[in-house]
Amino acid sequence: MKEIPHIVSTFHILTLAEEATARYLSSILSPFGYHLHITKDFQESIQHIMTEQPSVLIISGQMQDDEGLALLQYLKTHRDYDELPVMFFSDGSEEQELRAFQIGAEDVCSLTTSEVAVRARLRVLLRIAGYRRRISNEKRRLEITVEQRTKELLEITVATVAALEKASELSDEETGDHMMRVAAYSACLAEEMGLDRAMVEKIRLYAPLHDVGKVGVRHEVLKKAGVLTNEEFDEMKQHTVFGYDLLTAAKADDVARNIALYHHERYDGSGYPYNLKKDEIPLEARIVAVADVFDALTTKRRYKEALPPKDALQITCVELGERFDPTVRQALINRFDQFVAIMQQTTGEE
């Protein structure tokens, strides 16, 4: 039965090979519609892979200095390229074939493989490339949807808090700008600390809800101009527990509930409501605590002026340093310039 030429217009096959192998491969593949782009060395191949994103790679085992195996090794140990299907075209030695498989080549052929078999096996690799591409497109599509949803949720959260603020159900500290800055600062700290992207986004999303429990505190206490009595302060402290209960009833994520309940705990154990210490406090709450205090210090309130960011940094990281997780403090120091930029964007203050 005659083999039908395979029209592969959307496929792009890169071949790293020396003259003789390149010529042979072209002679058995080109008449069947496979277009090969031939490169002659390691660097040129990498460059081509980065810019042209080929579907399949054929590597010759006859390159000088084992450059073929070196390229295979490089690709299979780099996350950006390890999904690119590779056919290794060996020098025929069993040792080299074994080595190529061990490194991770999807298939190995040689001059002893029949032409028909080379083409058939190449088709399998192209199919694999198609599946992998489809999976990665789907993954990207899902990521975009999740990002979109997260953005919507953040907007809903901020709108809810702004509505509460308008209804005077929150103190004058809980402005929409404060929420947005605490979200941005917290995400920035989480990122600097190397938390994974999903966690960073959760923290960004839920940080604005840290004081949502204040809706459960009596108006007189919340809006009192003078110093709170001990009883009033005890009532105020309850906003952490109210917030937790509210978010639990709303079936909110653990990250949201932890932030509400523990954002006033202090690293040295002097916080509330449970006097937790160090690692007993969930990381997300330790992060939001720093963001919250930095913002409180750098904004003007009814009873105090705004401090310059450098002074706020000194207070948060040194003077009151004991209260905060040292790794979060270090993250603040590392990202200080970004904090200042966030601050200037939303307050317009220097």
| Residue ranges in contact with Fe ion by CB under 5 A | 211, 292
27's CB contacts (< 8 A; 6+ apart) are none
Identified catalytic residue from 76, 214, 278, 304: 214
225's CB contacts (< 8 A; 6+ apart) are 302
* Cβ atoms within 10 Å, residue 334: 13
CB of 338 to Fe ion, least distance (A): 19
Place of tokens 């605590």: 289
Which tokens is 45 given?
């191949």
Q: Which is nearer to Fe ion, 11 or 339 (CB)?
A: 339
Q: Which is nearer to Fe ion, 201 or 211 (CB)?
A: 211
Radius of gyration, CA atoms only, the chain: 30
* Whole-number Å distance between alpha carbons of 298 and 182: 12
Kindly write down the DSSP assignment for every residue of 273-315, as one continuous string. SS---GGGS-HHHHHHHHHHHHHHHHS-BTTBPPPPHHHHHHI
CB of 196 to Fe ion, least distance (A): 25
Q: At what angle do helices 239-249 and 230-237 cross, to 10 degrees?
A: 20
What 3-state class would DSSP assign to 16? strand
CB of 255 to Fe ion, least distance (A): 16
CB of 211 to Fe ion, least distance (A): 4
* Whole-number Å distance between alpha carbons of 171 and 212: 11
CB of 208 to Fe ion, least distance (A): 9
CA-to-CA dists, residue 62 to 106, 128, 230, 326, angstroms: 18, 25, 83, 55
* Whole-number Å distance between alpha carbons of 52 and 41: 16
List the strands of the sheet with 36-39, edge to edge.
Answer: 36-39, 13-16, 56-60, 86-89, 107-109
214 is catalytic: yes
CB of 263 to Fe ion, least distance (A): 6
Q: Which is nearer to Fe ion, 181 or 329 (CB)?
A: 181
Contact 91, 111 (CB under 8 A): no
Q: Which is nearer to Fe ion, 271 or 309 (CB)?
A: 271
Helix (H) or strand (E) holding 11: none
Q: Which is nearer to Fe ion, 106 or 211 (CB)?
A: 211
CB of 171 to Fe ion, least distance (A): 9
Q: Which is nearer to Fe ion, 99 or 178 (CB)?
A: 178
* Whole-number Å distance between alpha carbons of 230 and 100: 74
Q: Which is nearer to Fe ion, 12 or 214 (CB)?
A: 214
Q: Which residues are the active-site residues?
A: 214
